[in-house]
Chains A and B, each alone.
Chain A
Amino acid sequence: EAGVAQSPRYKIIEKRQSVAFWCNPISGHATLYWYQQILGQGPKLLIQFQNNGVVDDSQLPKDRFSAERLKGVDSTLKIQPAKLEDSAVYLCATIWGTARGSYEQYFGPGTRLTVT
């Protein structure tokens, strides 16, 4: 069954500080995604992992954002230094294969970041 744990649930920092988010997807799920959802917008893909490797990080602001997935299980997303416009909900997701041969992405509850 699908399930994604994220922590912390809420974080408030000042601009120029650093922050890290943690995601633990269902054990055995090889694919993991990080999305950023700014208020009033839909989620935007930041990075996609397949096991330890990066599949797509084309929309990740690499000058300040970094992500890693050690041992193909847990993942961390870091922002250093944070800017005001980074205030958003950061969502982690994994996928679940269906009998039809397609995939459904399952999301964690997200971490709400406020940068002041």
Chain B
Amino acid sequence: DQQVKQNSPSLSVQEGRISILNCDYTNSMFDYFLWYKKYPAEGPTFLISISSIKDKNEDGRFTVFLNKSAKHLSLHIVPSQPGDSAVYFCAASESGGGADGLTFGKGTHLIIQP
């Protein structure tokens, strides 16, 4: 059973527009959520995180929204840039503020069109 789901395998967005990546989870025990970005032949790179006690966290062009009642989170990238083209993974942790092992979704391949 997949506890973290990213239902869009790929997403194409024009440069300068907003990119919205979605993630759903089923495990009510998850209390810390993270987004990672991955380029080919590299390990995942941490992007942004959010604790379950918050509903929004911003870092520059990146904003993560958490809707606990819907068990849904989303990553907004504004404005989208060509360097944002990568695979984005949603991940979750049950405890430890991210120190425990993470459960990942399958990823969404974001393509920024010039």
Residue among B43, B44, B102 having the largest count of chain A Cβ atoms under 10 Å: B43
A interface, size bucket? 20 to 34
- Shortest beta-carbon distance from B103 to chain A in Å: 8
Q: B34 touching A104 by the CB < 8 A rule?
A: yes
Of residues 76 through 116 on chain A, the ones whose CB sits less than 8 Å from some CB of chain B are: 91, 93, 95, 101-110
A61 touches B (CB below 8 Å): no
Q: How many residues in B have their beta carbons less than 8 Å from beta carbons of A?
A: 26
- Shortest beta-carbon distance from B54 to chain A in Å: 10
- Shortest beta-carbon distance from B82 to chain A in Å: 22
Closest 9 CB pairs of A and B: A42-B104, A107-B43, A45-B101, A102-B97, A103-B98, A103-B99, A104-B46, A107-B44, A43-B104
List residues of chain A with CB under 8 Å of any chain B CB. 4, 31, 33, 40-45, 48, 56, 91, 93, 95, 101-110
